[in-house]
């Protein structure tokens, strides 16, 4: 391998590392549910709502709210909420997953 080819390989490698990065995500919601009173033996309905991001800062495209997740799952009594974050080099996705039932309480 010639020096110019090695130099190009190093530049491409450094550029690849430069465009990738780490990110953290915190949730503004605090869970106040008492899981000792939640009946996990029953079957929950599941609703999911997601928002997508481009390059980590362009967006959101979509509505990742608990209300939207409950609507998507036809849930009126939300018992458990889960959050999923997936970030890649160019794309990211935040999802809220609501578990519950349609009983009015």
Q: What is the pTM of this model?
A: 0.66
Give residue-wise pLDDT tens across range 53-63: 988 778 889 99
CA dihedral 84, 35, 67, 89 (to 10 degrees): -10
Tell me: the pLDDT tens digits for 6-55? 888 888 877 766 666 555 555 555 566 677 777 888 889 999 999 999 88
Q: Using alpha carbons, select from 22, 10, 11, 25 the residue that is nearest to residue 89.
A: 22
25 burial type by CB count under 10 A (0-12 exposed, 13-18 middle, 19+ buried): exposed
Which helix (H) or strand (E) segment holds residue 68: the answer is: helix 66-72
User: Which of these, 99, 95, 97, lies nearest to 50 by C-alpha position?
Assistant: 95
């Amino acid at each position: 391998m010639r020096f110019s080819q090695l130099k190009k390989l190093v530049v491409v490698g450094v550029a690849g590392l430069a465009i990738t990065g780490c990110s953290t995500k915190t949730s503004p919601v605090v869970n106040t549910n008492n899981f000792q009173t939640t009946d996990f033996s029953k079957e929950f309905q599941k609703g999911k709502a997601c928002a997508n991001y481009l390059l980590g800062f362009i967006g959101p495209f979509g509505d990742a709210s608990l209300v939207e997740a409950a609507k998507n799952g036809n849930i009126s009594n939300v018992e458990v909420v889960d959050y999923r974050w997936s970030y890649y080099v160019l794309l990211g996705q935040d999802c809220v997953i609501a578990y519950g039932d349609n009983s009015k309480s």
